[in-house]
Amino acid sequence: MNTLTSAPTLQVNEEGYLKNYQDWNRDWATEIAHQYNISLTPKHWDVLNWLRAKQAEGTALSVRKVGNSGIVDIKEFYALFPGGPLKISSRIAGIPKPASCI
């Protein structure tokens, strides 16, 4: 079972996603973002909060849906979370890996 150093220690699956998204906190998100060399700005937090809200609603997530969120367009989403924006932002947001991510 994988864990991270945040207090309290949070359990993650083999891909680094939280096992229980309700355990998420901002300190944990900041720690994960640092692993990707991302310094979280207010715009990052807007995206992360939107992702968490959609997860709570049971909405299936995709890059296109984030781009149509009214928070960021697709180009900005890629700039905020380079190297796999939906996969990385979902991990930072503490939500399960979206089915649209490979």
Q: Is residue 99 part of a domain?
A: no
Q: Is residue 25 part of a domain?
A: yes
- Look at residue 8 and tell me whether its pLDDT is greater than 70: no
Region 70-86: what's the mean pLDDT? Answer: 95
Structural domain span for residue 39: 2-93
Q: What digits encode the pLDDT tens for the residues 42-59?
A: 999 999 999 999 999 999
What are the CB-based long-range contacts (under 8 Å, 24+) for 26-29? Answer: 28/4, 28/94, 29/92, 29/93, 29/94
Q: Is residue 31 part of a domain?
A: yes
* pLDDT number for residue 99: 74
- Look at residue 95 and tell me whether its pLDDT is greater than 70: yes
Mean residue pLDDT across the chain: 88
Q: Is residue 44 part of a domain?
A: yes
* pLDDT number for residue 1: 43
Q: Is residue 89 part of a domain?
A: yes
Report the catalytic residues: 101
Q: Is residue 98 part of a domain?
A: no
Q: What digits encode the pLDDT tens for the residues 13-48?
A: 888 888 888 889 999 999 999 999 999 999 999 999
Tell me if the pTM is above 0.85: yes
Domain count, the chain: 1
